Structure 1
Amino acid sequence: MLGLGSKEIIYWVSIVLFVGTYTMIILEKFFHRVPAALFGGLLAVFLGVVTPEAAWESIDHNTMFLLIGMMIIVSVLIESGFFSILSATALKLTKGDPLKILLTFTTLTAVLSAFLDNVTTVLFMVPILITMTARLKLKPVPYIIAVVLASNIGGTATLIGDPPNIIIGSIGGFTFMDFIVNLAPIIVVTLIIGTAVFTFMMKIKGDLEPKIKDEEELKKIVEAQRVEFDIVLMRKGLIIFGITIILFFLHHILHLEAGTIALFMASVLMLWAKENPERILERVEWTTLMFFLGLFIVIGGLEHSGVFEDVAHMIAGIIKDPILGILILGPFAAIISGIVDNIPFTMAMSYVLLDFAKTAAFDVEPLWWALALGACLGGNLTIIGASANVVAAGLAEREGYPIKFFDFVKAGTPVTVITVIVALGLLWLKYYILGV
């Protein structure tokens, strides 16, 4: 590990490393995002921007454990044939209509993401969607992106739906019902408008055009789905999955992180199922996990050198009243969350708001909700803006449908801009017009 000397040098090197890593991720024709993130993260350690111990602390272990645990549980369910059954059932219910498939999956994903974490929901939904669209000769990627966008919108509604909300609830002292009352109604309206936006975009691009025109051929595809499954393994997988979800709801009472619960229940399932561990673990998205590992360290460099703290205090210094706070903090949080992982920024900004509340001449509660809306909805801006995006991209790439960085940006940017404007507009209306 090299020593760079002064804190100022480390400060600027951390920024250069982040910009360089992000540039490599964008230039995906020349660099794969996984080695790019790992190189950036380990270079930060090598140059002394962060110590090995600080790098380890920068990794969000709760997120990593959650991903590994849920990937193992989903892997067992795939092995049992559960997703094949769901795909065949969904195909029959929608009768192969692309618009019905889109609306069914995005709505279901948004609802599930509000009561599970959105990473779990994406892990659950994407394999089904890929199977369905492939059978109908549709392009899976636009549908996967739509589901990811819906998961990030839906996850904004509750305390447990998205990691930034968990941080805000913990530091700000807000309850599950506080999120339901203040954010859920806003997100219902935002989801409707967001769904209309990406449906319109897919419509004009021709992604909702049926590829199988012959009704008889389509009917045969819908009705002739033969599914092989292992009912015993499926029952075990579903029981463990159900218990895991119940424990997620109780994790605050149990004082256990969601990641600890997921990884523990995954180990229980592997012991109970008695399946070949190597076969189960082969389906875990290790490339996605390595990407997160590298990115967490790069972002940890920004956090440890004080970049996030300076940015957060700069924003707090500009805010002179709650209306201005909503207009500044919400969009800024959305932009930052689209570029870097929203967890460290949300944490830094939450502590600033906590201190700011002690001296502010106005009620800062609206600023907490503006931060939540911006941080969660801003995750739809780029493919690395939220954990669910990266996980979905990994699943799609494994099945042979890579999602390009700029393809995601082209789909995510209009949805992000419109949903952030709508959500923050409704928040402003709630507090300063309706007075509730």
Structure 2
Amino acid sequence: MNVATISLAASSSAAQGVGPVLPMVLIGIVLGVTFFLIATERMHKTLAAVLGAAVAVALALMLGVYDGKRPYLRVHDFIHHDLGVIGVIVGTSIVVAIASDSGLFHFLAVRIVKLTRGNPRKLLPAIMAVTVAFVTFLTIAPGVLIMVSLVLVITKALDDDPKPYIIAVAIGANSGALMTFASGIPTLMIGTSAQIPYVHFLIVSAPLATLSAMLAFFIIRFYYRKTLAVGDAEELLARAAKVDEFDEWALVKDRSLFYRATIILGLTIIGFALAKTLGVGLDYIAFCGGIAALLFSGFPPDEAINKVKWSIILFFVGLFVLIGTVQDTGLLTVLAGGIYDTANGQMPVVIAMLTPFVFVTAGIVDNIPVAATMIPVVNTMVDQGMVPEPLWWTLIAACNLGGNPTPVGSIAAVIALHALEKERGIRIGWAEYLKVGGTITILQIILVLVYIFVFVTFDLFPRLPV
């Protein structure tokens, strides 16, 4: 994703002011109907997203929402802005597919299971912790792709219900995205716009990421306590004995391929960590990893490419176009800008309003466009004399964690739930996900408010460079 382009586009939209009301209403209704279709599962989510995008674009063209001599090209801008996300998914999918075929994930799965002795209550925090670690260094898309593959292998081997572990990956990933400057796309967007130094994330958001992940873990364990019941001592011994019989090398057909895949995956991880230093995008690193995997693994290219999750990519394309069109009507800017006016510029009130607003909006319309929309709003508040640090850190926390309440609120949830349904035929409906994710979101809103207010009260925020 071109962060500078998105930020510039969002700022330009804010500067141009609010457009006519009719496009806001009509295209806003299209957005609402699209999410209703997805939420009620009356239509496949990919079909709902592309249908909503098509209708929104038609309305936008008729109502003159897009500017320029060739207004339809604005649609291409929406897709262009998010090519980085799509590129990361494509490249990483190939690396993960080949690494999985080499037996690497089965190897890791067995090692983790052996450390936990197959105890579900030890396995769940292990999965959550590894997810946060993977997302910290790989970003959400590749981190979740790897962890979902890992979870599906583990739960199938133990004949366990994968739901709590898949939800732990989906929600834990959003905490991991808070860890560093480049761990999540909204974090990268906001950090770049606010010019926040990398080390500031280790001071401010990394502790919050840890606390939010711990909170999510306890809620998930509570809701799935029956599923995660450890049983009596005899049952635990039986599970441990079963785990002891697992052979981590069982699915490794070619150790040479195993080591090559491990090296390629490791180099890809290092590449993600160094992408900013190297001056390249995460999508470039992902594609290089995919190309290396195809070149040195001996895996049939067509078979590997077919493993790319194309339905997810099509879903994102539709979603990006739909949300981008809603953005261009000025609807999101109106909703966000109203926070400042209502709060009358008072910092505690602004934070108290900004946090739940961004949480809820990100859960409904995806945290990436919400971040892009809110950046110029916060810049406006700063220009009007408000202290910048609390506003930026509130936005970073709320945008990333705001993806938790719904199955479409973040890339992590979409990838994890899609993989579960495709690979195991198990669906986690909106009602079940909302029950868990919604509870976590409410508590995380409180956590973020307390955390930010503590930093404000004791003047703990490191100052941004002038």
Shift of 1:54: 1.9
Q: 1:219 to 1:433 in 2, by over 3 A?
A: closer
Following superposition, the deviation at residue 210 of structure 1 comes to 4.4
Q: Give the aligned partner of residue 63 of structure 1.
A: 85
Map 1:356-395 → 2, pairs under 5 A: 356-360=381-385, 362-395=386-419
After the TM superposition, which residues 136-175 of structure 1 pair with which residues of structure 2 at under 5 Å, given as runs? 136-175=158-197
Provide, for residues 55-90 of structure 1, a one-character-per-residue CA deviation record: whole Å limited to 9, x for no partner: 222121111111111111101111111111112222
TM-score (norm 1): 0.92
The answer to whether the 8 Å contact 2:27/2:59 transfers is no
Q: 1:238 to 1:135 in 2, by over 3 A?
A: closer
Does 2:234 correspond to 1:222?
Answer: no
Q: Deviations over 1:215-257 (max 9, x none)?
A: 5643443133341212222222222222222222222233222
Q: 1:357 to 1:123 in 2, by over 3 A?
A: same
Residue matched to 2:37: 24
Share of identical aligned residues, percent?
28
AA matched with 1:427 = I
Residue among 38, 43, 58 paired with 2:55: 43
Partner Cα separation in structure 1 for residue 460 and residue 312 of structure 2: 44
Higher mean alpha-carbon deviation, 113-122 vs 41-50, is at 41-50
Letter in 2 for 1:354: N
Residues 67-216 of structure 1 correspond to what in structure 2 (within 5 A)?
A: 67-203=89-225, 206-210=226-230, 214=235
Q: In 2, Cα distance between the equivalents of 1:316 and 1:69?
A: 41
**Contact 1:25–1:33 (CA under 8 A) maintained in structure 2:** yes
Q: Which amino acid aligns with 1:26?
A: A
Give the letter for the 2:245 counterpart.
Answer: A
Deviates further, 253-262 or 30-39: 253-262
**Superimposed CA distance per residue, residues 101-123 of structure 1 (whole angstroms, 9 cap, x where no aligned partner):** 10111112123322321222211
Structure 1 spans left out of the alignment, 5+ residues: 1-5
Write the mapping of 1:293-308 to structure 2, written as runs, cut at 5 A: 293-308=317-332
How far does the alpha carbon of each residue in 1:186-207 deviate from its partner, in whole angstroms, 9 at most, with x for none? 232333233222222221xx11
258, 262, 268: which one pairs with 1:244? 268
Seen in structure 2, the aligned counterparts of structure 1 residues 434 and 353 have a Cα distance that, compared at 3 Å, is: closer
**In the comparison of the two structures, how many residue pairs are matched?**
427
Residues 57 and 322 in structure 2, CA contact (< 8 A), matched pair in contact too: no
Equivalent residue, structure 2, for 1:423: 448
Greater CA deviation, 192-201 or 54-63?
192-201
Which whole-Å CA distance do the structure 1 matches of 2:283 and 2:294 have between them?
Answer: 17
| 8 A Cα contact 1:341 1:385, kept in partner | yes
Question: C-alpha distance in 2, partners of 1:52/1:266?
Answer: 33
Deviation string 1:302-346 (CA, Å, 9 cap, x unpaired) is 112222222232223234122122111111110111001111121
> Alpha-carbon deviation of 1:372?
0.8
Q: Deviations over 1:123-152 (max 9, x none)?
A: 111122122122222211122102211111
In the alignment, which residue of structure 2 is the partner of 1:3? none
Report the more deviating stretch, 400-409 or 314-323. Answer: 314-323
Kept in 2, the 8 Å contact 1:126–1:395? The answer is: yes
Q: TM-score, normalised by structure 2?
A: 0.87
Give how far 1:161 is off: 1.7
Structure 2 gaps of 5+ residues are: 1-18, 462-466
Please report the RMSD computed on the Cα atoms of aligned residues, expressed in angstroms: 2.0
Cα displacement (A) at 1:7: 4.7
Q: 1:421: how far off?
A: 0.8
| Alpha-carbon contact 2:164-2:220 (below 8 Å) kept | no
* Distance verdict in 2 for CA 1:42–1:274, change over 3 Å: farther
Q: Structure 1 stretch 40-49 or stretch 116-125: which is displaced more?
A: 40-49
Asked whether 1:407 is paired with 2:407, we answer: no
Instruction: Check the 8 A contact 1:379/1:385 in 2, yes or no.
Output: yes
1:359, 1:214 → 2: CA distance? 63
Structure 1 residues 359 and 257, CA gap change in structure 2 (3 angstroms)? same
Task: Report the more deviating stretch, 410-419 or 112-121.
Answer: 112-121
Shift of 1:434: 5.5
Q: In structure 1, the residue corresponding to 2:402 is in which secondary structure? A: helix
Q: CA deviation at 1:211?
A: 7.7
Q: CA deviation at 1:435?
A: 5.0
| CA separation of 1:270 and 1:359: change in aligned 2, threshold 3 A | same
Q: Output one character per residue of 1:233-288: Cα deviation in whole Å (capped at 9) or x when no partner.
A: 22222222222222222222332221222123312321232321121122211111
| Partner of residue 277, structure 2 | 253
Distance across 2 between alignment mates of 1:434 and 1:124: 39
